[in-house]
Structure 1
Amino acid sequence: MSGEDTPPAPRARRIGLLVTVAAVAYALDVVSKFLVVRFLEHQEPLTVVPGVLVLNVIRNPGAAFSIGTGMTIVFTLIAGAVVVAIIRTARQLRSLPWAITLGLLLGGALGNLTDRIFRSPAPLQGHVVDFLQAFPVTHFPVFNLADSSIVCGGVLAVFLAWRGYQIDGSRQTEEQADD
């Protein structure tokens, strides 16, 4: 059998999936932010579905829910550390669900990190573009697709850990955890 007929190793396929999910999440975030800044910034909020979804462009210098608005540089460093941690963890990756999870986390972290590095007011101090406001009558915070990707990845990570799925593809059962 020639090298061309040999299927890629499971780890390589999982890393490929991680990179693909991260690239899609990142691209959707970057393109959506470009479009809302270009066409909706400095405009009145746009109601997409009354009472459910409004496009309302804001610049967020802090973290989720505008926490820590004076600590943009700290959040930039944290996001950079998260990206490095995910890349390092990927070396152990043998699990399809964890590949998707890490891809969502990586794509979201890179999306917001790009804003923090390149957007105004200054390099490494940029404000993140948020524009999705769900259920506006409840004053739900404004967020973006990177935030959604991070939240979905976080929920998946908690679920996988709770079910005992490991990054290396193994599964820890309750009996093993008790030992």
Structure 2
Amino acid sequence: MNQNTKNKLLPLTLSFAVILLDQITKCLVVKFIPRLTVFADDAVIEIFGKYLRLIHVRNNAIAFSMGSGLSDGLRGILFALLPLFVIIAVYVIYFRNNEFTKLQRWAVCGILGGGIGNLIDRFFRPEGVVDFVDCYFFGLFGMERWPTFNFADAAVVVCGIIFVITFVFQVKSDRKNNKKE
């Protein structure tokens, strides 16, 4: 196996780790935390008071519950099949691209692991994706609490930010080097 192949395969361990941690945490939440309803007083576990809590909610839409008003069939196509095709396309691009930096490869694999983690819920949890991290948001942007999320969501956001930052620095560096020539 050549070095280029090894450099592409090693970051896949992050994808597997994100999927594994995401599914384990979701299974624990489903098993030990009752679904949050107005009648479930024991459904909130405070970690740092009102600032960080664990709750058990389901999201049958996408980020910030966008699309929750769509029909079940349309949601299934838009939020399960379309992401599946996007994930496959990104993996194909990932393996064909030789321009990604090492950090960008790890970031892409973290994003893909998070995407697959939530996709597993979309296919195997008809009630929706399990979300459980609930953070106080200090009323910023009119929100008392940040929308509830899970480990997969966090991986997508953190790795997405890392990817964008490294991409911006790479573009700036390329422009600087082109001006010198």
TM range (shorter): 0.7 to 0.9
How far did 1:16 drift?
A: 2.0
Distance 2:34 2:7 in 1: 38
Distance 1:99 1:36 in 2: 30
1:85 maps to amino acid: A
How far did 1:36 drift?
A: 0.3
Cα distance change, pair 17–58 in 1 and its aligned pair in 2 (3 A): same
Over the residues paired in the alignment, what is the CA RMSD in angstroms?
A: 2.1
SS in 2 for 1:105: helix
How far did 1:39 drift?
A: 0.5
Contiguous gaps of at least 5 residues in structure 1: 1-7, 122-126, 166-170
TM-score (norm 1): 0.81
Distance 1:9 1:95 in 2: 17
Distance 1:152 1:31 in 2: 19
How far did 1:95 drift?
A: 2.5
TM-score (norm 2): 0.80
Are positions 1:19 and 2:21 aligned together?
no
Query: Structure 1 runs of 4+ off > 4 angstroms?
Result: none
Are positions 1:172 and 2:174 aligned together?
yes
SS in 1 for 2:20: helix
Matching residue of 2:75: 72
**Retained in 2: the 8 A contact 1:17–1:99?**
no
Contiguous gaps of at least 5 residues in structure 2: 36-41, 139-143
Aligned residue-pair number: 161
Are positions 1:36 and 2:29 aligned together?
yes
Query: Residue deviations 1:114-165, cap 9 Å, x none?
Result: 00011124xxxxx110000112662111000000011012101211211126
Distance 2:6 2:48 in 1: 39
Q: How does 1:86-165 map to 2 (within 5 A)?
A: 86-91=90-95, 92-93=97-98, 95-121=101-127, 127-135=128-136, 138-164=144-170
